């Protein structure tokens, strides 16, 4: 009969790790309580734990604001591709904000766009809000449900992506080759 491995190596004894963790946890709590209850002794020995009141709600908000003001501060030693993507995202975000600011300055009437559907029908919409799905649903709910992808000004376009300006719209159903290529 082979001897159990934990007899030769006591650290492999069943439950040894749990016992060690429990002992370590109890020791940490004992030391913490010891330091908290004797702050005058800690100063001579070095830094010790102090009892501080929990932060107030306003202090928590300030901490959150500081973290938000430093984007990506949590990520240190980022790979180069992450840094490049973050830079690209920031550039695209600024461009988008500028476009939105331009549209906002022009007034509400400038947001109205004309969408010409492939069958000759013309639908009015709002720039940066109206989507190909909205146009399809305005024509027929069945058409909207059957549409797989849209083609806006000759470019494949997701059904939920807002239209940016006046455009021609072709709604592609699954029987279209391009729609099948997108959906597979």
Across residues 72-87, what is the average pLDDT?
A: 78
Domain layout of the chain by residue ranges = 109-183
**pLDDT one-digit tens code per residue, 20-68:** 777 778 888 788 777 777 655 555 555 554 545 556 666 666 666 665 5
Distances (CA, A) of 169 to 4, 29, 57, 123: 75, 68, 51, 10
Q: What's the first-to-final CA gap in the chain, in angstroms?
A: 60
Residue 152's pLDDT is what?
96
CATH of 109-183, one of 1.10.3720.10, 3.40.50.360, 3.90.1150.10, 3.10.20.30: 3.10.20.30
**pLDDT one-digit tens code per residue, 8-30:** 555 555 666 677 777 778 888 78
Q: Is the pLDDT of residue 131 over 90?
A: yes
Residue 79's pLDDT is what?
85
């Amino acid at each position: 009969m082979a001897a159990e491995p934990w007899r030769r190596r006591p650290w492999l004894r069943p439950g040894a790790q749990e016992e060690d963790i429990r002992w370590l946890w109890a020791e940490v709590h004992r030391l913490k309580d010891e330091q908290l209850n004797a702050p005058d002794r800690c100063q001579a020995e070095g830094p010790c734990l102090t009892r501080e009141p929990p932060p107030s709600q306003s202090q928590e908000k300030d901490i959150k604001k500081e973290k938000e003001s430093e984007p990506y501060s949590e990520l240190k030693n980022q790979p180069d591709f992450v840094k490049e993507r973050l830079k690209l995202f920031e550039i695209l975000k600024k461009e988008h904000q500028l476009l939105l600011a331009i549209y906002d300055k022009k007034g509400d009437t400038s947001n109205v766009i004309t969408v010409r559907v492939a069958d000759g029908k013309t639908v009015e919409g709002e720039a940066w809000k109206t989507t190909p799905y909205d146009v399809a649903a305005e024509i027929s709910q069945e058409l909207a449900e059957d549409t797989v992808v849209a083609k806006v000004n000759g470019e494949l376009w997701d059904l939920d992506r807002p239209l940016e300006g006046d455009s021609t719209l072709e709604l592609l159903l699954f029987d279209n080759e391009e729609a099948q290529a997108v959906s597979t």
